Amino acid sequence: MATPPLPTPGALLRRLYLLRSVVTTVAFTPAVYVDMQLLDLTGAKEFQIFLGIITPVVLGLCAVVQPLVVMPWLMRRAMAAQGTQRVERLIRIPSSIAFLEMMASWTLGGILFNGGAVLLLDRPPSVVLVGVAVAVSAGLFSSPLAYMLFEREMMPTVLDAYQQAPSSKPAGEGFATRQLWLLPAMVVSALLITCLASIVTLHLRLERGMGALAADLAAKGDTASAERVQATVRPLEAELIQPVVILGGYAALGSILTAAWAARRLARGARAVGDSLEALVEGRATPPQWVSSDEVGDLAASTWQLYQQLQDLPRSLRTSAGDLADAGQRLSQASAQQNQTLSRQAAALHQARATAQEIQQASHVTHSRATSILQVAERAAAVGKLGEESLAGTEKGLASIRDIAAGLHEQMLDLEQRAREVGRVSEVVKSLADQSHMLAINAAIEATRAGEHGKGFGVVARQMRDLADQSIRATNQVRGLLETMATATQQASAMSDQGAEGVAEALEPLRHSGERLRELAGLSKESAAAVRQITEAVSQQHAGVDQLFAAVRELDELTTDTLRHLDTTQQAATAVSHATGQVTQLAQRYV
């Protein structure tokens, strides 16, 4: 079914103005009738002034000029807005015209009507208040009906604006119409205008009849007062029946029409929401064709938002279903590829597990050897330390021997010097012994010459010669011994010099050996520390190899479990693809 084109703002204003004029004319007739009763127009001149001057002026100002100024301004203000603000302003146009502009027009008309009568027809000022009350009652009576008519004309335009901003919600604030007060206001306005019209009519008729009766009694006396009262009341009753019936019937008919229109309006709003929900049940997303600011409008707006979300949801579901279908297909392909990959990976992990076990065994051997090397290095460091200490002691001993040899050489030299001195003494002794021997020989010769007297001296000379001979022999022996001792001393001194030189020569390599041994001991310590670090690293490597072997073993077991569960994943991917197809079909029904 084709949607009729939207009216332009100018055409819409003309329709609204026409409806306002019709409603105002319908309500204006009884209001003028009541006002005429209030003003008690009697002569033709008064009717001419009231209908020929006051009525056209008031109608021109209140029914022509004012709406032609206010209504276009409201329309331009609404159309100039955008989005949610335009929707809110368009929704408020019917209530603004019916309950603000028209009520202001009725109030101003009541003031002008009765104020003009006070000025031109010489009526008391109190009639202005009663006339304004009559005009306001007529406005309250006609405003709800005018609002519903305006709302009906504005509905397509408001719906179009609402479709462009579906997230907006009509605000029920200010002069926005709400069922909470609209229906009571219509009933109260109908009763108020009925009561006010009846009371004013009765009051005016009775007041006029009683005035005439009083004037008649005052003029003619009391003799025939009863007959005159009856004669006066009977026509008064006859006069009251017709206007009361007319006003009551008009008020009742207006109330019935207003209530019927209000009920029809509620039915239209409820039917719009119901048709939308029925379409939703049938799988067709059709938003309710109703926008207003009352409770029905709230329901329609909530339904609009529901449809908006429902329309977004199928699109999202369809998109997600398509993505899920692609993901399921990719999952199936990935599952097949993963199955092949895991099979190869399982074989590789079995080989890796065997290799890791061999590495673990080799790590055990390496750890044991590293521990043994560490022990050997520590023993080598200890032995090097002992060798260094022994070499230091040997070096000290050789230095002492060198010092002793030097001292012995000096003593040998001193002994040789003493031996030479003793040799010189022995030469002196030998010389003395030779001289003594010569003297003994000479003494023996002289003793022989002396004869008997020289025998004793000869004995002494012989003994001196023997002693001299012994001294010579002893001196020769001493000299031989001294020469032997000197030779031995020289040899010992030479040997001592050679020993000192040998000790000195041996001490220098020994010193170099000590330095090398100390360097070797330091290297042994560094080697021991390095071997200790290597041992710690090997220990850590051994622990890491154990962890690696455990991880490879767990990974091998997990791979085996994954291969077992891979079939379940394939089945789940198939189920996802099937469910995705169902979701796609369901989502297409509500798009």
Give per-residue pLDDT as tens, 487-509.
766 676 666 666 666 656 665 66
pLDDT digits (tens, 9 = 90+) for 186-245: 566 656 655 655 665 555 555 555 555 555 655 655 545 545 555 555 565 556 556 655
The stretch 46-56 carries a mean pLDDT of 80
Closest CA relative to residue 414, chosen from 516, 346, 518, 485: 485
Task: Give the pLDDT of residue 75.
Answer: 93
Nearest-10 crossing angle of helices 66-80, 84-95: 160
pLDDT beyond 70 at 9: yes
pLDDT band at residue 1 using 50, 70 and 90 as cut-offs: very low
Distance CA 293, CA 545 (A): 78
CA distance 365 to 378: 20
Q: Measure the CA dihedral 139/174/147/54, to 10°.
A: 30
Most confident stretch, 130-144, 351-365, 506-520, 560-574: 130-144
Q: Give residue 72's pLDDT.
A: 95
Q: What is the pLDDT of residue 292?
A: 66
Per-residue pLDDT tens for 100-153? 899 899 999 889 888 888 888 887 887 788 788 888 888 877 888 888 899 889
- Residue-level pLDDT at 91: 86
Can you tell me the distance from the alpha carbon of 326 to that of 56, in angstroms, rounded to the nearest whole number?
Answer: 78
Query: What's the pLDDT tens digit per position in 87-102?
Result: 888 888 998 998 889 9
pLDDT at 66: 92
Rounded Cα distance between 164 and 466, Å, is 172
The confidence score (pLDDT) of residue 68 equals 92
Which of 2, 46, 294, 53 lies closest to 171 in space, CA to CA?
A: 294
Tokens of 34: 């009541």
381 touches 532 (CB < 8 A): no
The first and second tokens of residue 317, run together, are: 């579901």
pTM score of the predicted model: 0.45
Average pLDDT value for residue range 141-167:
84
Domains and CATH numbers, the chain: 9-293 (no CATH), 319-589 (1.10.287.950)
Q: Are 158 and 79 in contact (CB under 8 A)?
A: no
Quick one: average pLDDT of 519-529? Answer: 65
Helices 179-220 and 9-39, packing angle to 10 deg = 30
pLDDT band at 534 (very low <50, low <70, confident <90, very high): low
CA dihedral 29, 35, 39, 43 (to 10 degrees): 0
For the packed helices 295-450 and 455-589, what is the interaxial angle rounded to 10 degrees? 170
Interior CA angle at 119 toward 126 and 34, to 5°?
55
438: left (phi over 0), alpha (psi -120 to 50) or beta: alpha
Please check whether residue 9 is in contact with residue 79, taking contact to mean a CB–CB distance below 8 angstroms.
yes
pLDDT tens profile 467-485: 767 777 777 776 777 677 6
Kindly report the number of other CB atoms within 10 A of residue 206's CB atom: 13
Phi, psi of 289 (to 5 degrees): -90, 65
Percent of the chain with pLDDT over 70: 37
Report pLDDT for 18: 94
Mean pLDDT along residues 347-371: 66
Mean pLDDT of the chain: 71
Which position has the higher pLDDT, 32 or 206? 32
Question: Within 13 Å, how many C-alpha atoms sit on residue 562's CB side?
Answer: 17
- pLDDT category at 76 given cuts 50, 70, 90 is very high
Tokens of 359: 């590495």
DSSP letters along 86-118, please?
Answer: HHHHHHHHHHIIIIIIHHHHHHHHHHHHHHHHH
pLDDT at 167 over 50: yes
Residues in contact with 131: Cβ distance below 8 Å, sequence separation at least 6, in sequence order:
35, 38, 39, 110, 111, 113, 114, 117
3-state secondary structure of 444: helix
What is the C-alpha separation between 472 and 478, in angstroms, rounded? 10
Please write the tens of the pLDDT for every residue from 290-335. Answer: 676 666 666 667 776 766 666 666 666 667 666 666 766 666 666 6
- Asked if pLDDT for residue 64 goes beyond 80, the answer is yes
**Among residues 392, 409, 406, 410, which one has the least CA distance to residue 507?**
392
* pLDDT at residue 226 in the model: 45
Least confident residue range of 246-250, 301-305, 367-371, 540-544: 246-250
Highest mean pLDDT of the ranges 63-72, 156-165, 186-195, 578-587: 63-72
Residue type, 346: A
pLDDT in tens, 409-462: 676 667 667 767 766 776 766 677 677 767 767 767 777 777 666 666 666 667
